[in-house]
Structure 1
Amino acid sequence: MSSIQRLEMRQGQSLTMTPQLVQSIKLLQLSHAELLAYVEAELERNPLLQEAEAQGEEARLPSLADFLRAKRRYAEAGGRMIPGPPPSRTESAAGASSQGAASAHSGLEPELEATLAGAQSLTGYLEAQLNMASADPASREIGRHLIHSLNDAGYLTETLEDLARRLNVPLDRAEAALRLVQSFEPSGIGARNLQECLEIQLRERNRLDPAMQLLLSRLDLVARQDYAALEISCGVDREDLIDMLAEIRRLEPKPGLSFTAAPIDVLVPDVLVRSGADGSFILELNPDTLPRILFNRTYYAEVAKAVRKDDDKSFLSDCLQSASWLTRSLDQRARTILTVATEIVRQQEGFFHKGIASLRPMTLKSVAEAVGMHESTISRVTANKAIGSGGVTYPMKFFFNAATGEGEHAARAVRHRIRQLIEAETPDHVLSDEALAQRLKAEGIAAARRTVAKYREAMRIPSSAQRRKRHSLKIL
C-alpha cells in the first residue's frame, strides 16, 4: 500500500481572537470603578485621547512636545500601544497600597485627619499594651511572638508547647506571657478555644461562677438546644438557665474581628430605572459611571502635519488605532449593558411593580435568547453591574433565579415568603415544614416539604422543634 502526498485548498471560517477583541471582551465584565481606572491609564499614555470635560474654547490642546513625551513613555513601555489589560480588583488594591507606601516615604508628614482616620491593626494595638504592661525584654519578646501567632479572630492557633520549644524558653514562662496577653483588650483575646474565650470575658465581668463554668463545659448541649440536659448538668432551674444563656449571647466569640478591616465595595447602579406616565419603565445609563473621553481629531491632524520621522509616524498610527478602538469599545459596552438591562427589567417587570414576591425565574439562557447574544456574554455583562430603582440598588445577578422544582416561582421569592411566614409565627402556632408547604400551596406556590426544608436550612433558620424550644424559653 503506497502513500501519496498532495496539496489541497479548502475554504473555511474561523474566529481569530485579536488582542483588541480580547480586551473588548474583558471590558464588559469590569465594574465602573475598574473601568474608570483603566480609562485613566489610557488617557495617560495616548495623547490623542482627551477627557470630555476638558473640551471647550478655553481647553488647552496638547502640543507637539506632549506628543514626543508620550512617545518616550511608549518606547520605555516596550513599544506597544495595544491597550493594556484591564485592572483586576487585586491589582487595583495593590496599586492603592503602593501609592500609600510611596506617600509614607515621601518625607511629608501626614495631616492630622489622615492620621486619625487610619485603622489600627490588632497586632499594633496589642503590642502597645504589651510595651506598657511589661518592662522585662524577655517577657516582651515572648508576648510579641504570641501576639503574632493569633489568627484574625484573636485565637492562639499554636500550642504553648510548640511555641516554648521554638523560642527555647521554659513552658511556665510561655504560660505567664499568655496570661498577660489574655488580660489585654479586647476582652477574650489570646484564647485557645471558644470556651476559654468566653471564660475570660465572664471572669472580667465577675460572672464566672461554678454553674456558668459547667454551662461553658457543655457548649455542645447549647448548640443542640438541649435545655433539659443543661438544667441537669448545671444544677439550675429553667429561669436561671435562661439568664445564663442570655449572658453568654452578649459576649463576643471572635474578639479579633473588630480590628479586621473589611473591604469597602460601594455598589453604584450602572443603569437607572424609573416609571413612565403609562406605568411602563424607562431605562437610562447612569452618567456617573460612564467614562467621558473623546478622540481629539484636531490634535491628530496637527501632529500628522508636523511629524517627519518614520518612528514618529508609526507611533502616531498606533495611537490612532488604539484611540479608535477604545472609543468604539466603550460605546459598544454601554449599548450592550443597556440592552441586557432592558431585557432583565422586561422579564422582571412584576418585581419592579410589587417587590420580591413577584420575582420570576430567569436564567442567562433566557436573556441570551431574547437579546440574541451568547450566554457567556450575558454573564460578563451582568458581572459587577447593578440596576438602580426607587433609590435601591440591585446587583444584576440578583434577578437571575432558578425556578422551584414543582412550579414556576423564583426560588428567591419562595425563600422570601417562607421567611415571612416563619417571622409571623406565634409561640402557640409554630409551623412545621409540611405546614409551610401547605401554606405556600394555598397561595399558588407548589413547593414540596423537602424543598421547604432545603430553603429553610439555606437561610439558617432552625427547625420547627428548635423554634418551639426558643419560644418556650422566651429567648427569641
Structure 2
Amino acid sequence: MSLAPSLHLRQTQSLVMTPQLQQAIKLLQLSNVELTTYVEQELERNPLLERAEARDRAADAERYDDRRDAGEGLLVDAREGGATGEAPLDVEVDNSADYQEYDADAGGGADAGAGGADPGLSDWSAVGAGGRRDFMDDDGGFENTLAGTTTLRDHLVDQLTVDVPPGPERLIGQALIDSLDEAGYLATPVAEVAEALGAPVDRVDAVLARLQRFDPPGVFARDLAECLAIQLREKDRLDPCMEALLARLDLLAKRDMTQLMKVCGADHEDLVEMIADIRSCDPRPASRFADVPAQPVIPDVIMRAAPDGGWLVELNSEALPRVLVNRRYFATVSKAARGKEEKGYLAESFQTANWLVKALDQRANTILKVATEIVRQQDAFFVRGVAGLRPLILRDIATAIDMHESTVSRVTSNKYIATPRGIFELKYFFTQAIGGSDGAEAHSAEAVRHRIRALIDAEDPKAILSDDTIVDLLKKEGIDIARRTVAKYREAMRIPSSVQRRREKKMKLSQA
C-alpha cells in the first residue's frame, strides 16, 4: 500500500444553501404578521425599497375585482380535479427605468398645486372660521372620544383609596395589588411581600383580609378553595359543611358523591344544593377586567363558492406586504457614488431589494398553489363538514403539485384559509387515516374524533357508552378502531370516562 500523495478526479452532487436560499426558506414559513415585521425591517435597512402607496392598493383591488367578475382568478373544480386562471399577487416590481414618484399635486392639477391648498380641505377649514366645529382642530380626533377600558388594577386602586387611609396599610395594599395575576389570584406569597416591604407578616395578613372584601368577590385569593370561600361568604353560604366540601375539591372533580356525603356529613339533596352554590361562583374573578383584546386571525387565503360550481381560491391581498424597487433613485445615487465602498453598498442593496420582491412573489405563488390543491382534495369537507374530511398527508399534496414535502410543511405552518365553514389553519386538513372495516375505505382521524364526540353527546344519561361500546358502534359504521385509540381521542378532547360521565349526569338529573 503506497502512502505517496496522488491526484484524483471525483464528481459528486451536493446542495449548497446560499444565504438567499436560506432567506427564501425562512420567508416561506413565516406567518403574515412575522412577514410584515421582517419587511418593515428591510424597508428601514434598504434605501432602495419603498412601500406601495395606498392609491396603488386601491387600483390593484379594483383591477382584481374586475378580473374576478370577468371569471378570472383561480378556480378549483373538484369534479375535474384541476385549477384554471391566474391568481392576483400583491407583490410588484417596477421594471421601468425611471420610477415615477408620487406627486402630491397630481390629483388637483396645476391650479391646485399653485394655490397651495386643496379646495375641499379649505372648505372644511372655513367652517371652523365661521364658529362651527373645525375638523382640523388640535384638541383631539375621533379616537380620543372612544371609551377607555378599566383595568383590574385601576378598579382595585380606586377602592383602596376610599377604604384604606394613607399610611403603611395603603402601601401594603398597593404591593398586594401589584402581586395579582391576570385571574385575580395572589401570585406572590405573603411572606415574600412582607419581606420586600420590611413589614410584619401578621400586618400584611390583616391588610390582605381587608382587601379580600373588595369587588370583584374572590379577588386576592391564594388558591381556588379560598376564592370560592370568599364568594360563598358574600352570599352567606359558608357553613362548616361547605368548608368541608371546599377542602375536598378533588372528590368533587371526580363526582364521587358517596365520599362527599361522608366528608360533609350531609345527605344527597343537601350536597346537590351545595354543589349548585359552588357552580354559581366565578373561579376567575378578574376575567371581566381582561385588558388584552383578542387578536383576530388574518387569513392568508380566501376561498368562496364560484357562481358556476367549484371553489374560487385567491390570496388575501391585505395580508401581504407590498414593496417596490425604486430604480430611479438607484440610478440617481449611482451617478453620484464615487468610492468603491459606496458603489458596492448600492449594488448589494439593489440586489437584495430585487431578491426580496422576487422571494415575496414566489412565496405568494407557493402558498396559493398548496392551498388550491388542499381545497381540491378536501372538497367533501367544505360540502358536508367534518364528516367529509378525508385522510391527507404532506406527501399527497407534494406529489400533486411537484414539490418537496418540507416545502409543503413550511407553507402550511401558521397559514390560515377563510372558508364558508370558518377560518382554518392549513395544517388542520392533514389527518391520519383510520382503517375501514371489511375492506371499506379509510377514514380521517379528525372525522372519527368528531363522530366519537357526537356519540357521547347523544348518549342516554341512563345508558352511558363505554369505550368498548363506542368501538362496537364505530365498527358497525365501517370504522376499524382499537379501544385504546378511542380512549386516547376521548382524553385529547377532554371528555371524561364513562364512570365520571355517569356520576356527572346522575348529579344533573338529581338537580333537575
TM-score by length of 1: 0.80
SS at match of 1:191: coil
Partner of 1:142: 172
**Is residue 370 of structure 1 aligned with residue 400 of structure 2?**
yes
Give the C-alpha shift of residue 136 in structure 1. 4.0
Shift of 1:207: 1.9
8 Å Cα contact 1:357/1:413 also seen in 2:
yes
| Deviations 1:15-45, CA, capped at 9 Å, x for gaps | 3333322221111122223333433444454
Structure 1 counterpart SS, 2:303: strand
Counterpart position of 2:84: none
CA distance in 2, matches of 1:367, 1:180: 63
Q: Percent identity?
A: 49
Residues 1:226 and 2:256 are matched in the alignment = yes
Counterpart of 1:272 in 2: which secondary structure? strand
Q: Distance in 1 between matches of 2:449 and 2:318?
A: 34
One-letter identity of the residue aligned with 1:387: I
* SS of residue paired to 1:274: strand
Partner-residue secondary structure (3-state), 2:433? coil
Kept in 2, the 8 Å contact 1:32–1:290? The answer is: yes
The CA distance in 2 between the partners of 1:289 and 1:164, in whole Å, is: 50
Match of 1:334 in 2: 364
CA 1:156–1:302 in 2, change beyond 3 Å: closer, same or farther?
Answer: closer
Q: CA deviation at 1:405?
A: 6.8
In structure 2, the partner of 1:403 is 433
* 2:472 corresponds to 1:443: no
- 1:179, CA displacement in angstroms? 0.6
Q: CA deviation at 1:135?
A: 1.3
For normalisation by structure 2, the TM-score amounts to 0.74
Q: Deviations over 1:209-256 (max 9, x none)?
A: 333222222212211111122233333333332222121112111224
1:146-157, aligned counterparts within 5 Å?
146-157=176-187
| 1: CA distance, partners of 2:491 / 2:148 | 40
Q: Deviations over 1:180-211 (max 9, x none)?
A: 22112221111122211111011112222333
274, 295, 298: which one aligns with 1:265? 295
State how far apart, in whole Å, the 2-side matches of 1:143 and 1:54 are: 54
Q: What SS class does the counterpart of residue 255 from structure 1 fall into?
A: coil
Rate the CA distance shift 1:368–1:263 in 2: closer, same or farther, 3 A: farther
Instruction: State the secondary structure of the residue aligned to 1:147.
Output: helix
Work out whether 1:387 is the aligned partner of 2:417.
yes
Question: Superposition pairs for residues 1-400 of structure 1, below 5 Å?
Answer: 3-6=3-6, 8=8, 10-43=10-43, 45-47=46-48, 49=50, 51=52, 54=55, 61=101, 113=143, 118-262=148-292, 264-276=294-306, 279-297=309-327, 300=330, 306-307=335-336, 309-310=338-339, 313-390=343-420, 392-400=422-430
Instruction: Report which stretch shifted further, 327-336 or 370-379.
Output: 370-379
What is the CA-CA distance between 1:117 and the residue it aligns to?
Answer: 5.2
Q: Is the 8 A contact 1:164 1:170 kept in 2?
A: yes
The answer to which of 324-333 and 314-323 deviates more is 314-323
Moved more, 295-304 or 140-149: 295-304
Q: Which runs of 5+ in 2 are unaligned?
A: 60-98, 104-137
Segment drifting more, 372-381 vs 262-271: 262-271
Separation in 2, partners of 1:161, 1:268: 46
Of 205-214 and 31-40, the range deviating more from structure 2: 31-40
Residue deviations 1:77-110, cap 9 Å, x none?
A: xxxxxxxxxxxxxxxxxxxxxxxxxxxxxxx998
1:102 paired residue number? none
Give the aligned residue type for 1:431.
L
Change (3 A) 1:172 1:47: same
Per the TM alignment, residue 282 of structure 1 is displaced from its structure 2 partner at its CA by: 3.3
Cα gap change, 1:126/1:434 in structure 2, threshold over 3 Å: closer, same or farther?
same
Change in Cα spacing, 1:49 to 1:415, as seen in structure 2 (3 Å) is same
Figure out how many residues of one structure are paired with residues of the other and give that number.
429
- Out of 452, 460, 465, which is 1:418 matched to? 452
Which of 239-248 and 326-335 deviates more? Answer: 239-248
Per-residue CA deviations over 1:325-379 (Å, capped at 9, x if unaligned) read 1221111111111121122123222212211011122222332333332332222
Matches within 5 A, 1:451-470: 451-470=485-504
User: Which SS does the other structure have where 2:443 is aligned?
Assistant: coil
Task: Provide the rounded CA distance (Å) in 1 between the counterparts of 2:194 and 2:319.
Answer: 55
179-188 vs 8-17, which deviates more?
A: 8-17
Q: Which range is displaced more, 46-55 or 372-381?
A: 46-55
Could you tell me how far apart the structure 2 residues matched to 1:202 and 1:127 are? 24
**Aligned-pair CA distance for 1:261:** 4.1
> CA offset at residue 456 of structure 1?
1.2
Contact 1:272 1:286 in 2 (8 A): yes
Q: Are residues 167 and 435 of structure 1, via their aligned partners in 2, closer, same or farther at CA, if it must alter by over 3 Å?
A: same
Once residues 5 and 274 of structure 2 are traced to their aligned partners in structure 1, the CA distance between those partners, rounded to angstroms, is 89
Q: Secondary structure at the match of 2:219?
A: coil
Q: CA deviation at 1:292?
A: 3.5
Q: CA RMSD in A?
A: 3.2
| Distance (Å, rounded) in 1 between the aligned partners of 2:244 and 2:353 | 72
Q: 1:245-298 CA deviation, whole Å, 9 max, x = no partner?
A: 121112111224444444633222222223446643332222332334344445
